[in-house]
């Protein structure tokens, strides 16, 4: 006998407390045994997710409340991982929209909510973090309603139920005047407002693939919801491919979700979300169905990539010194393996066996892949990110982003000026009660490349920047590239304090004394538009004459620290970023040309 089921997704903007709220639901559902150590952010199992405090991969969990199985899907809040969001919304019948009581709806709230409303879902709104200073829960509810109307929600969707909650403290309540005790009001609202899944167990099997996983033991694992029929472990089934081809195979393993674990199941019926092994060639959107009567469900459409970069085998003078996986075969295999689970990614081979064209949804999407690979021991190089152009109705078009900035008063003028130079068009501007200004722009995606670091300088680190894909529009015209040239090492060696100190007036450095450099390596930014070749390994000539200033303490100005994201934004068209498990180095693309200068 199958349990009553509720399938829901949790959607929200980055850092609005989505994962913390899931933690509270898991802990209060009784899935952890007494005395068991429960980690925070249990759904963020990836090291990068914990470090950055964001959800990158959608994950499934399930809890039981009043004999009802509640399947919960935690989705990413960042638009760069929109490929994850769209698929999982096809598995659920309702969603929780988490909104920060202080910030209200933000750009990624808009992005994910729009997808949910298009699928006809009826969101339950949770105003989270109500116990924080400056929280204004009722104003947040009004802003959510404005957003629903703006996104074209129907009358039923606009009559959304809402609760006030604190995921960190573990309580939810229907009014602000009540005393918050636990999460039961939220559990009750889920049972009441999220409809049970629609599906007929007597019809032929239909299971749509919405998420991919991989196991070394059973191979590719597909996760999806059973729309109709019953699936059994060991049975014969058919996979209807995107082009209509039918591939028959056996269900080697069938698993359901219980808490954070996958548990083996003998069978599951319509409405269940399950993980299935046995189809090595299954892809997102395809249908596992009955071999005698194969019936495919409509394919899932995922947003196309908007940004691409070239991954190269490392060919710098320091190649192979710090990485474990350095060959073109290893790099190719790793990129193709990423395609097994990362559906918003595209990998194309080029004329050269050492270069691969990789396309993704944005700088963060590609940056996460690069950071993951370097942590795994890979050593390689990447080129400057480039936008992907399309021809629409015979006219060349480029991707535009909706950019929302939250800036202090003193940073408004500088941001508006720089975005104007980057072809940004202001759509909206308003000043909130705290004196901060919210600016909304439509801007070409290429205009955002390299802007984040500049934005942090303009706002002295106090600004908040978010963006999401808008649409493709006709080309916006030329955008001015980086203004200053770079300082290039023209001799291999070790950087010295003496040479860096003597060149301080030429610009700012990215390295410190003791850093090993090679010819063609970018070591700093020149304070003029031209590039500058400099010997940063030059040592002071010693003599037996004592210097009158020899006992003075001489200090070097602090170098600019190049993180991976900052370096990706910084490199120009003729430059590369060398990535190893130990180092991140910037370099000129052609070192041979430098020797002739």
According to the annotation, is 15 in a ligand binding site? yes
Q: Which residues contact 276 (CB under 8 A, 6 or more apart)?
A: 207, 221, 222, 223, 224, 231, 251, 253, 254, 255, 288
Rounded distance between C-alpha atoms, residue 158 and residue 156, angstroms: 5
Rounded distance between C-alpha atoms, residue 281 and residue 428, angstroms: 47
Assign 3-class secondary structure to 284-333: CCCEEECCCCCCCCCCCCCCCCCEEEEEEECCCCCCCCCCCECCHHHHHH
Whether 163 contacts 185, CB under 8 Å:
yes
Coil, strand or helix at 57: coil
According to the annotation, is 71 in a ligand binding site? no
Coil, strand or helix at 509: strand
Whether 316 contacts 357, CB under 8 Å:
no
Whether 185 contacts 193, CB under 8 Å:
no
CB atoms within 10 A of CB 510: 22
CB atoms within 10 A of CB 144: 22
Rounded distance between C-alpha atoms, residue 407 and residue 203, angstroms: 56
Coil, strand or helix at 411: helix
Q: Which H/E stretch holds residue 335?
A: helix 328-338
Report in angstroms the alpha-carbon separations of 533 from 296, 485, 486, 522, 523. Answer: 62, 11, 9, 9, 10
According to the annotation, is 128 in a ligand binding site? yes
Rounded distance between C-alpha atoms, residue 272 and residue 269, angstroms: 6
According to the annotation, is 18 in a ligand binding site? yes
Residues 272, 4, 229, 250: what is their CA dihedral angle, to the nearest 10 degrees? 40
According to the annotation, is 200 in a ligand binding site? no
According to the annotation, is 175 in a ligand binding site? no
According to the annotation, is 17 in a ligand binding site? yes
According to the annotation, is 213 in a ligand binding site? no
Rounded distance between C-alpha atoms, residue 165 and residue 559, angstroms: 44
Report in angstroms the alpha-carbon separations of 58 from 9, 49, 89, 222, 253. Answer: 10, 11, 11, 13, 21
Rounded distance between C-alpha atoms, residue 348 and residue 448, angstroms: 24
According to the annotation, is 592 in a ligand binding site? no
Annotated binding site: 15-20, 128-131
Annotated binding site for GTP: 15-20, 128-131
């Amino acid at each position: 006998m199958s349990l009553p089921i509720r399938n829901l997704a949790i959607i929200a903007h980055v850092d609005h407390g989505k994962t913390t709220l899931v933690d509270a639901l898991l802990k209060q559902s009784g899935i952890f045994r007494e005395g068991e150590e429960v980690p925070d952010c249990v759904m963020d199992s990836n090291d990068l997710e914990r470090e950055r405090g964001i959800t990158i991969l959608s994950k499934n969990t399930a809890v039981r409340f009043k004999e009802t199985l509640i399947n919960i899907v935690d989705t990413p809040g960042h638009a760069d991982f929109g490929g994850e969001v769209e698929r999982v919304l096809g598995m659920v019948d309702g969603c929780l929209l988490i909104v920060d009581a202080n910030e209200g709806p933000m750009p990624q709230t808009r992005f994910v909510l729009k997808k949910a409303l298009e699928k006809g879902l009826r969101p339950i709104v949770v105003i989270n973090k109500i116990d924080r200073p400056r929280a204004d829960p009722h104003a947040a509810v009004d802003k959510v309603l404005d957003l629903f109307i703006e996104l074209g929600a129907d009358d039923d969707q606009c009559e959304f139920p809402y609760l006030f909650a604190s995921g960190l403290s573990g309580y939810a309540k229907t009014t602000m005047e009540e005393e918050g005790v636990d999460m039961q009001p939220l559990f009750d609202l889920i049972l009441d407002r999220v409809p049970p899944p629609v599906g007929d167990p007597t019809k032929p099997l239909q299971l749509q693939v919405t998420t991919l996983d991989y196991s070394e033991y059973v191979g590719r694992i597909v996760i999806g919801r059973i729309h109709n029929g019953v699936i059994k472990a060991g049975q014969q089934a058919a996979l209807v491919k995107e082009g209509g081809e039918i591939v028959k195979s056996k269900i080697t393993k069938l698993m359901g979700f219980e808490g954070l674990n996958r548990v083996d199941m003998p069978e599951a019926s319509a409405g269940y979300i399950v993980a299935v092994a046995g189809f090595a060639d299954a892809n997102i959107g395809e249908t596992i169905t009955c071999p005698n009567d194969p019936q495919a469900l409509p394919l899932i459409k995922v947003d196309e990539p908007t940004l691409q970069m070239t991954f190269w085998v490392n060919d710098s003078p320091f190649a192979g010194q710090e990485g474990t996986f350095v060959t073109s075969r290893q790099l190719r295999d790793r990129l193709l393996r990423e395609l097994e689970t990362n559906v918003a990614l595209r990998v194309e081979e080029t004329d050269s066996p050492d270069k691969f064209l990789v396309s993704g949804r944005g700088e963060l999407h590609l940056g996460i892949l690069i950071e993951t690979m370097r942590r795994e021991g890979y050593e390689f190089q990447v080129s400057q990110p480039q936008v992907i152009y399309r021809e629409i109705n015979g006219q060349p078009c480029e991707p535009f982003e909706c950019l929302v900035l939250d800036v202090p008063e003193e940073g408004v003028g500088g941001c508006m000026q720089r975005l104007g130079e980057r072809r940004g068009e202001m759509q909206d501007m308003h000043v909130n009660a705290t004196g901060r200004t919210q600016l909304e722009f439509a801007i070409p995606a290429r205009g955002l490349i390299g802007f984040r670091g500049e934005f942090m300088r303009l706002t002295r680190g106090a600004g908040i920047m978010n963006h999401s894909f808008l649409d493709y529009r006709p080309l916006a015209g030329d955008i001015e590239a980086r203004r200053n040239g770079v300082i290039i090492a023209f001799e291999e060696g070790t950087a010295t304090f003496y040479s860096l100190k003597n060149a301080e007036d030429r610009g700012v450095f990215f390295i410190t004394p003791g850093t090993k450099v090679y010819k063609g390596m970018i070591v700093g930014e020149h304070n003029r538009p031209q590039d500058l070749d400099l010997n940063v390994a030059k040592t002071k000539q010693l003599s037996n004459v004592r210097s009158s200033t020899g006992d003075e303490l001489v200090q070097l100005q602090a170098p600019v620290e190049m993180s991976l994201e900052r370096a990706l934004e910084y490199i120009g068209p003729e430059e590369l970023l060398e990535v190893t498990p130990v180092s991140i180095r910037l370099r000129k693309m052609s070192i041979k040309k430098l020797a002739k200068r």
